[in-house]
Chains A and B, each alone.
Chain A
Amino acid sequence: MQRHLISAADLTRDDAVLILDTAEEMARVADRPIKKLPTLRGRTVVNLFFEDSTRTRISFEAAEKRLSADVINFTAKGSSVSKGESLKDTAQTLEAMGVDAVVIRHGASGAPYRLATSGWIDAAVINAGDGTHQHPTQALLDAFTMRRRLVGRDAGIGQDLAGKRITIVGDVLHSRVARSNVDLLHTLGAEVTLVAPPTLVPVGVGTWPCEVSYDLDSTLAKSDAVMMLRVQRERMNAAFFPTEREYSRRYGLDGERMAKMPEHAIVMHPGPMVRGMEITAEVADSDRCTVVEQVANGVSIRMAVLYLLLGGNEPAVTHTRTEEK
């Protein structure tokens, strides 16, 4: 493992499988009456959020607390891009406080990379979403969810997603989730297809390790998982598509479309869902939809990442098993 987690593209297959396996161990902690490990006792983790995301922040915070870390939440909403110095200033303040890890969410693509490489700070840096670039822990929790559902909880240990066919639908252009997932799922051996109107596919996508389609219906029958991305209504005003209705008609997932998917196939969404536009309530509430599991799995994945980046060399597996005795 590297010292930082900036991009899903930085993970090797073995790194990724190790994180998923470790997350399975972490998930067991959640099943116990006392959901806490002493692993990061005495270590300080800062959640540095320049951009609002209560869901992601709470997920990281839960993971940090279950590992007994001291947690500092730092919200610097709105101050990021207009006042360029704030990232460096903040970083140096945290450095002076002897922080061991920084979980950073930032509106600017590359901000976590700058934080990790510019020499401003010594701590481990975990990217919790940067601009339209990457959101690696989201990709990991998605992969974890897929492995559990499509390979199996116990059968999945040590396994990747070889041969699984994953379709990602929606605003790929602005989506760090899509970028991270394409990278990680490819590394794990899955075949990825992006489906979106051409306006929401980045110029230059041709080099990505995935297929691109503009037609959702033709991809459904051969998908093991369909991941719906968040589509912001503002995109309509920027002429990315004509109307909300037309978007739903062509790229929304409703019951009829879900019926075209194979029996075992699952529906995923990074949340929060916009019901009606990208996904109907019928689909969102079906037992094939993994949104709630994804949230729970997020905590296990973030525990695993923090553990592996900060917890030292000892494998989590033996550690937790000893604890249980």
Chain B
Amino acid sequence: MSKILIRGAKVLGGEPQDVLIDGGLVAEIGTGLSAEGAEVVEADGKVLLPGLVDLHTHLREPGREDSETVLTGTRAAASGGYTAVFAMANTFPVADTAGVVEQVYRLGREHGYCDVQPIGAVTVGLEGRKLAELGAMHESAAGVTVFSDDGKCVDDAVIMRRALEYVKAFGGVVAQHAQEPRLTEGAQMNEGVVSAELGLGGWPAVAEESIIARDVLLAEHVGSRVHICHLSTAGSVEIVRWAKSRGIDVTAEVTPHHLLLTDELVRTYDPVYKVNPPLRTERDVMALREALADGTIDIVATDHAPHPHEDKDCEWAAAAMGMVGLETALSVVQQTMVETGLLDWTGVADRMSAAPARIGRADGHGRPVSVGEPANLTLVDTAYRGSVDPAGFASRSRNTPYAGRELPGRVTHTWLRGKATLVDGKLA
């Protein structure tokens, strides 16, 4: 059915209104709209947001289909209220050619749950030595605009400089996984009080901060755009704030887990808390929340990193790094940002939809909820309270740190260009 009437939804948290979807577009917004010829969705005061956009997702296909596929990953995305995800390049083979990115892009379109915008590798094989064919990936059907060696840092200053310069030709952006490799050899968790006690190799904040400092200076020098992935420390916030005040074209993202969890959880030695960058301290968490509220950090990105059970059901040092996040991101943001009064729903729409779409140049996504715009929409039951049950995840993997934890809010409906991908919490 092409016509859908969403009745009584709080658009961006405002007063309840009716929203009519027709032909894949938002056709009308008002009160008491006619339901004639339309399927009616009673929103009952749920919050209507633009479809969420994730600038940092690992879909694992090709190569690790036992963890996730484009299909399962986009189903997870739709469950979490996303209508577009940017798929990281660290697959097998690496997404460093037009062929690989086109394949991933096409699979996303075919499955139809969520648009998949592939991210291209900055360097061949993520090896940090030779630039990948950035232009060819941009010109491919996938139209790649974001490039990242995520999982690894582009640590060679010259390669980073060249990549920043080169992508200017087509409005691209380099998304940096900021991790000084020498300072993080053998790193297992945040370096500090807890690592000292547990005897786990420390990942010092300065390993992140020094790369961010270098990269914003490089971006300034060559007049390019740089994006910082999963910022995790209070010091990183200070550097980005300084860079922005200086007019440097830098954007930054924070993950939901860095807004909520701290390194104290590592005391359990449960690898579900093992992630890169690692969980930091309470002080860092608070600084990240404030920075997201004041716009120093532009967006929330999930760093959804699915892993099969056996890669986590082992001793800490042997476990894979990463957490799944697509299906819990909005709940974590509601708890840490909305219920703390730091951000309203308009702010959430900006940080989780408009801004990531703008950074990644995802046309048609992150648009305002207004007449004539593509009907990429998400309906959230913000009053919902319940504990997270990974058994219900659409993702192929279950490595969530929130199992059994109570989180507020639940996405009930997601529409991608007017087509429902999630209805009453169930995938369409």
Contacts and interface: CB of A to CB of B under 8 A. Distances in A.
B194 interface: yes
Nearest to A182: B197
A110 B200 contact: yes
Given A134-B199, A202-B202, A109 B317 contact: yes
Nearest to A116: B269
B315 A87 contact: yes
B204 A203 contact: yes
B193 A207 contact: yes
B331 to A, nearest CB: 27
A296 interface: no
A109 B316 contact: yes
Contacts of B193: 204, 206-207
A82 B319 CA distance: 10
B196 A203 contact: yes
B192 interface: yes
Interface residues of A, number: 32
Contact of A133 (B198, B313, B319): B198
Given A84-B318, A85-B310, A85-B314, A204 B197 contact: yes
Interface string B273-298: 00000000000000000000000000
A113 B192 CA distance: 20
A117 B193 CA distance: 23
A84 B199 contact: no
A320 interface: no
Given A109-B198, A133-B199, A176-B199, A81 B313 contact: no
A106 B315 CA distance: 10
Interface in A194-208: 202-208
A131 B316 CA distance: 11
Contacts of B269: 109-110, 113-114, 117
A157 B269 CA distance: 36
Nearest to B320: A84
A205 B196 contact: yes
B381 interface: no
A206 B191 CA distance: 13
B313 A88 contact: yes
A203 to B, nearest CB: 5
Counting contact residues on chain B (CB < 8 A from A), the size range is 20 to 34
Contacts of A75: none
Given A84-B314, A85-B314, A109 B319 contact: no
Interface in A105-124: 106-111, 113-114, 117-118
Nearest to B190: A204
B311 interface: yes
B199 A131 contact: yes
B179 interface: no
B194 A204 contact: yes
A311 to B, nearest CB: 28
A130 B188 CA distance: 15
A80 interface: yes
A83 B317 CA distance: 10
B313 A208 contact: no
Interface in B296-317: 310-311, 313-317
B316 A203 contact: no
A204 B195 CA distance: 8
Interface string B180-211: 00000000100111111111101010000000
Contact of A109 (B192, B199, B314): B199
Nearest to A118: B313
Contacts of B318: 80-85, 87, 108
A110 B199 CA distance: 8
Interface in A49-103: 80-85, 87-88
A232 B62 CA distance: 43
Contact of B316 (A82, A88, A108): A108
A132 B195 CA distance: 10
Contacts of A186: none
A81 B316 CA distance: 9
Given A132-B199, A203-B202, A88 B314 contact: yes
Contacts of A107: 317
B199 A111 contact: no
A227 to B, nearest CB: 18
B192 A87 contact: no
Contacts of A132: 199-200
10 contacts: A81-B318, A83-B318, A84-B310, A109-B316, A110-B315, A111-B317, A133-B200, A203-B191, A203-B195, A204-B202
Given A108-B317, A110-B316, 15 more contacts: A85-B310, A85-B313, A85-B314, A87-B314, A109-B199, A110-B269, A113-B269, A131-B317, A134-B199, A179-B199, A203-B192, A204-B194, A204-B195, A204-B202, A208-B197
Interface of A: 80-85, 87-88, 106-111, 113-114, 117-118, 130-134, 176, 179, 202-208
